[in-house]
Structure 1
Amino acid sequence: MSCELKSVFAGLPQMERGVAKVIGGDPKGNNFLYTNGKCVIIRNIDNPAIADIYTEHAHTVAVAKYSPSGFYIASGDVTGKIRIWDTTQKEHILKNEYTPFAGQIKDIAWTSDSQRIAIVGEGREKYGAAIFWDTGSSVGEISGHSKLINSVDIKQSRPFRLATGSDDTTSSFFEGVPFKFKHSRHDHSQFVNCVRFSPDGNHYITAGADGKMFIYDGKNGEFISALGGEKAHNGGIYAISWSPDSSQLISASGDKTVKLWDVGAGTAVTTFHMGTEVSDQQLGCLWQKEHLLGISLSGYINYLDKNNPDRPIRVIKGHSKSIQCLTVHKSDGKPYIYSGSHDGHVNILLLNYSTSPASHYWDAETGENDCFRGKGHSNQVSRLAINEEEDLVTCSMDDTLRFSNINKKEYTASDVVKMDSQPKSVSVAAGGLSLAVCIEQVVLLKDKKKVFTLDNLSYEPEVGVLHPGGSTAVVGGKDGKIYLYSVQGNTLKDEGKTLEAKGPATDMAFSNDGAYLAVIDDRKVATVFTVADGYSVKGEFYGHHAKPVSLAWSPDNEHFATGGMDMMVYVWTLSNPDKRMKQPDTHRLHHVSSLAWVDENTLVTTSHDASIKQWTLKY
């Protein structure tokens, strides 16, 4: 048995309100990159479904930038550590690692010969440094600011010049190399969020939280003019990005717009209105070849259309927070992945079988990567399932169950069931049945309504599942026992039958044909019971080094997969417990929080890295 990574559906940028998001682009114009948690995510700009994730940082990564040669990426984290790594090899070999100052790195810039790097941020004693990439030795001093530096850029033509923007409301200009402070400018009245040189080096522009932008001479740093007159935007400006020919630029603002500017005329040519919600604030932007990207507070990546400023060409949606659960459902023969995350967001992803290089890809271009409209869960989505009526049934830490029709893709208030306590898991079966296991309660629902509640239990329920036929409800307790209840009409009847697991159950599932029940427990054992034989033990499966937490049956009912806190995924063979497939480091930074089967040769996994991975299995 073997397992091969087929596709990576990457998470979105992790955003923070009022904080600029730096988006990098490769010099050839093929890729763009951003950060989420401890990951640096590289995506193809023409087909964003082609993605690569760098996971070697020990702490949250704040910024990443390509070298002008395209051979290296420098990425900096919140502790002040910068890692310089290779882009040409799949392994991304580390070239060097430095800590130029202690504190969050906010921005990075390279000289055009890819020899020197400027790093700025929130240091304790200093706010910036300029070093050789290969030795770490200093190539000047970045000084002149009294507060953290938000942004840095270097003129890409000789003689080199460097500019910075700071929370102290000033921008500074440096000559070099070695870089030496020349002067400061006090034109902004609030934080300077971004500073960028034009590709030809003739100008640089600063953008601030005061909604203003100023143009300066790229060679001597002298003031030229204000771009857009008194105010360029009605809100703070967080990012700017120049066109390759240096004649235009785009600016991203908290006023929920991105503007396209003619720099020579000093006027906005086009205003892209991105929406009316707080989540539509624009905190980042990138001009890469003919693509104009705007990054929303929601994390959505918007491909802007110059000919239709009110409707992006495409919007890359997804998760920006850790994914807790997923399931696969086929509509019209096409497999869709439904995933729920820590922030209550539910995403829909189509696996589109094509002949493209991505093979099975996230079909963002046709809008098939989508989410439910309206107000959904206000807290973590813990589990989800899809019933016969094609409702997505979700349980959340906001103490509710939701039934959302997957064809309408819309949340409605009428489909919310309030629970007495926090639900931990949900399961569905034939006949409109749903089973919710809550803290100290087990609740049976029929046709989206509570019909029976088991409370005052002698055990603490952890997870529950309904037999596909709807005849039996099985609940795993913290005491290591599995409790069986028969479903009789609208009630659960305790038949007095229990099964013994090795420890408290963490997940359980019936096989698709209902013939077997698999249970995983915190003693690292998977146990399979034969339903027709009075739930006798069919087999016990050992291999995990830490607690397994997720379980899913293959459509062939002969294999099932488990994911554990040991960051391993095992695929087990029912007829032979010794025949197994082990996949270590499925998601490098976190354990697999959930997994599901697309078909008997395709497994999808997800984790707290906000990404979904698709694997091809060979038996």
Structure 2
Amino acid sequence: MPVPPFGCTFSGAPNLEHVLAVANEEGFVRLYDTEAQTTSKLIFKEWQAHSNAVFDLAWVPGEHRIVTASGDQTAKVWDVRAGELLGICKGHQCSLKSVAFSRFEKAVFCTGGRDGNIMVWDTRCNKKDGFYRQVNQISGAHNVVDKQTPSKLKKKRQNLRGLAPLVDFQQSVTVVLLQDEHTLISAGAVDGVIKVWDLRKNYAAYRQDPVPFKSFCYPGTSTRKLGYSSLVLDSTGANLFANCTDDSIYMFNMTNLRTTPVAVFSGHQNSTFYIKSSTSPDDQFLVSGSSDCNAYIWK
């Protein structure tokens, strides 16, 4: 049986721009030479990165290194040329769903997980017990407010003091993105809110209800619990395209104070969290996958 690919991304390193890295459900990473003349030369490297699914992967900006985010609750840093494991990032309590770098920083990346946490990692920091540890953490980044009676809530709060929020799939972080060195954008599975975080703030002190620097509330009309499966910035970093599970892609402007979308793209279907989109290098086109097995392109 064919194994579904979960993540695919082109290298940004000089002379490697034609190399496509693809990660799949069985934990394998394959490097494709998209300029190969014959299909036999298409795959030029393959290795098992994890014994569990790899849900996302990201190239270290301009380098021959990759970070993989897996269902085994870790992220791993790889040297692609040597096929060597450089380090393991340990801290999440559930599957990692997303990993991203800032274009400006090679050592710092972020991950988002099904445990509702966002973690920031810095490969320059010394490892502890052989593992990288997060340098910043946003716990319960997309928690849905629990409508409980105050007394129940108080009891629950006391039990949770000093502990991370309870793991609950309902509050999964589905996508993380770094706009620049200290601005992180995230989305979740059910709260319908896109949040912007200032990483100069130490969120580790906020175990329950971290407050984002800016929020984009759900702009549509659906009454179902909704989330986002993909977040993409154009090349200027000014426009954000967000794939929502209400079958729309919302375009938000990141440079002004307006939090309503400047455009909405529709026509495709988005019924899973595996639907992703991408912009063309000249910012003229937006392409998205779709649950009806087609790709859709908008001008």
Paired with 1:103 and 1:129, the residues of 2 have a C-alpha distance of 16
| Residue of structure 2 equivalent to 1:467 | none
C-alpha distance 128-27 of structure 1, shift in aligned 2 (>3 A): same
Q: What does 1:583-598 align with in structure 2 at a 5 Å threshold?
A: none
- Residue number in structure 2 paired with 1:252: 243
2:88 counterpart letter in structure 1? Y
Quick check: 265-274 or 215-224, which moved more? 215-224
Among residues 37, 52, 60, which one is paired with 1:67 in the alignment? 60
How far off its partner does 1:274 sit? 0.8
Distance 1:52 1:297 in 2: 30
Q: State the 1:46 CA deviation.
A: 9.4
Match for 1:36 among 24, 48, 59?
24
Q: How does 1:485-496 map to 2 (within 5 A)?
A: none
| Residues 261 and 39 of structure 1: CA distance in aligned 2, closer, same or farther (over 3 Å) | same
- Please, which of 232, 237, 261 is the counterpart of residue 241 of structure 1? 232
Corresponding position of 1:197: 178
Could you say if the C-alpha distance between residues 85 and 230 of structure 1 is closer, same or farther in structure 2, counting changes exceeding 3 Å? closer
Aligned twin of 1:207: 187
Deviation readout 1:160-194 (Å, 9 max, x if unpaired) = xxxxx45x349xxxxxxxxxxxxxxxxxx965433
What's the secondary structure of 2:90's corresponding residue?
A: coil
Residue 139 (structure 1) shift: 6.2
TM score, norm. by length of structure 1: 0.32
Instruction: Report if the CA contact (8 A) 1:204-1:215 is conserved.
Output: yes
Matches within 5 A, 1:47-446: 54-60=46-52, 61-87=54-80, 89=81, 93-98=83-88, 100-101=90-91, 103-110=94-101, 112-121=104-113, 128=119, 130-132=121-123, 136-137=127-128, 138=132, 140-143=134-137, 145=139, 165-166=141-142, 168-169=143-144, 191-199=172-180, 204-208=184-188, 209-215=190-196, 226-227=215-216, 231-232=219-220, 234=222, 235-263=226-254, 264=256, 266-275=260-269, 278=271, 283-287=275-279, 289-290=281-282, 292-297=286-291, 300=293, 302=295, 304-306=297-299
Q: Decide whether aligned partners of structure 1 residues 248 and 143 sit closer, same or farther in structure 2, where only a CA change above 3 A counts.
A: closer
Give CA-to-partner distance per residue, 1:2-49, whole Å, 9 cap, x none: xxxxxxxx96534xxxxxxx65453356555442222224557899x8
1:289–1:301 distance in 2 versus 1, CA, 3 Å: farther
Q: Distance in 1 between matches of 2:86 and 2:22?
A: 20
**Contact 1:196 1:205 (8 Å CA) reproduced:** yes
The CA RMSD over aligned residues, in Å, is 4.4
Given the superposition, is the C-alpha separation of residues 253 and 34 from structure 1 closer, same or farther in structure 2, using an over 3 Å criterion? farther
Are the equivalent residues in 2 in contact too, given 1:73–1:85 (CA < 8 A)? yes
Question: In 2 relative to 1, CA 104–284 (structure 1 residues): closer, same or farther, beyond 3 Å?
Answer: same
Task: Give the Cα separation in 1 of the matches to 2:110 and 2:84.
Answer: 19
CA distance in 2: counterparts of 1:278 and 1:118, whole angstroms: 26
Change (3 A) 1:271 1:217: same
Alpha-carbon distance between aligned partners in 2 of 1:99 and 1:75, rounded to the nearest angstrom? 10
Greater Cα radius of gyration, structure 1 or 2: 1
The answer to whether the 8 Å contact 2:11/2:19 transfers is yes
Q: How many residues align?
A: 243
The 1:303–1:35 alpha-carbon spacing in structure 2 relative to 1, beyond 3 Å, is farther
Give the CA deviation at 1:249: 1.6
Cα displacement string for residues 432-479 of structure 1 (whole angstroms, at most 9, x for unaligned residues): xxxxxxxxxxxxxxxxxxxxxxxxxxxxxxxxxxxxxxxxxxxxxxxx
Aligned mates of 2:184, 2:263 — CA distance in 1: 19
Amino acid at match of 2:79: D
2-structure distance, mates of 1:253, 1:268: 15
Match of 1:175 in 2: none
Q: Please report how far the alpha carbon of residue 81 of structure 1 lies from its aligned counterpart in structure 2 after TM superposition.
A: 4.5
Task: Assess, with a 3 A threshold, how the Cα gap between structure 1 residues 249 and 301 changes in structure 2: closer, same or farther.
Answer: farther
Q: How far off is 1:121 after superposition? A: 3.5
Separation in structure 1 between the aligned mates of residue 261 and residue 22 of structure 2, nearest angstrom: 29
Tell me, yes or no, if the aligned pair for 1:213 and 1:232 is still in contact at 8 Å: no
Which blocks of at least 5 consecutive residues in structure 2 are unaligned? 146-169, 204-210
What's the CA shift for 1:71?
1.6
Where 2:240 maps in the other structure, the secondary structure is: strand
- The structural deviation recorded for 1:297 is 4.3
Partner of 2:207: none
Q: How far off is 1:76 after superposition?
A: 3.2
Q: Which residue of 2 aligns with 1:27?
A: 12
Q: CA deviation at 1:241?
A: 0.9
Question: Structure 1 pair 36/230, CA: closer, same or farther in 2 (3 Å)?
Answer: closer
- CA–CA distance in structure 2, aligned partners of residues 195 and 56 of structure 1: 24
The one-letter amino acid paired with 2:177 is: R
- Tell me if structure 2 keeps the 8 A contact 1:252–1:282: no
The answer on whether the counterparts of 1:211 and 1:233 sit within 8 Å (CA) in structure 2 is no
Quote how far apart the aligned CAs of 1:273 are: 1.6
| Contact kept in structure 2, 1:239 and 1:252, CA below 8 Å | yes
Whichever residue aligns with residue 210 of structure 1, its letter is D
TM-score when normalising by structure 2: 0.60
Q: Distance in 2 between matches of 1:71 and 1:42?
A: 11
Structure (1/2) with the larger strand percentage = 1
